[in-house]
Amino acid sequence: MSTLPSSTMTRACAVIALAALAGLCACSSSSTVEKPVVDTGLDRMERLALNANRCWFKSKDPVFAAYSLAPELSSYSGRPRFLLVPRGHPEARPLLVVEGQSGSSEVAIYGPLTGESSVAPRVQSDLARWRTGRDSCSA
């Protein structure tokens, strides 16, 4: 048994607890550990999809009148993408795929429309411009 009065012991425990708490607070506030940023490509692909929707579809561009945009940005594969499909047939096989890749600034473009002379050059030039950060609809 201790020979110290109960109130002195309570005070001593309180002082020790406050000191420990102050030590923990000092450790946590002085050393901020930043979590590493993982580039999933989602932000980039979201911006590209928004630009494509605005410039190709909302503007009623005749080059894209036969197609619809089908975004698939929530990808568990680390490859967010958007598709061009035949207008009115969202379940149809994609005619164009624009796909980002986790950890890379590269954007893959593939599908049957990449060989069409009316669409391919426009897609290539627009995506190249948008990837540089310019969001304008025309060069």
- pLDDT on residue 30: 47
Beta-bridge partners for 85:
68
- pLDDT on residue 88: 93
Decide: pTM greater than 0.75.
no
Question: How is residue 112 written in tokens?
Answer: 């049957």
Beta-sheet pairing, 67-72 with 96-100 = unpaired
Closest C-alpha to 46, from 107, 5, 94: 107
Closest C-alpha to 106, from 120, 127, 125, 126: 127
Closest C-alpha to 67, from 39, 33, 35, 90: 90
Helix (H, G, I), strand (E, B) or coil at 71: strand
pLDDT in tens, the chain (139 residues): 555 566 665 665 555 655 555 555 555 444 555 555 455 577 888 999 999 999 999 999 999 999 999 998 886 777 899 999 999 998 899 999 999 887 777 899 999 999 877 889 999 999 999 988 899 997 6
Name the one residue in this structure whose structure tokens are 């410039």: 55
HSE-CB of 25 using CA atoms within 13 angstroms: 6
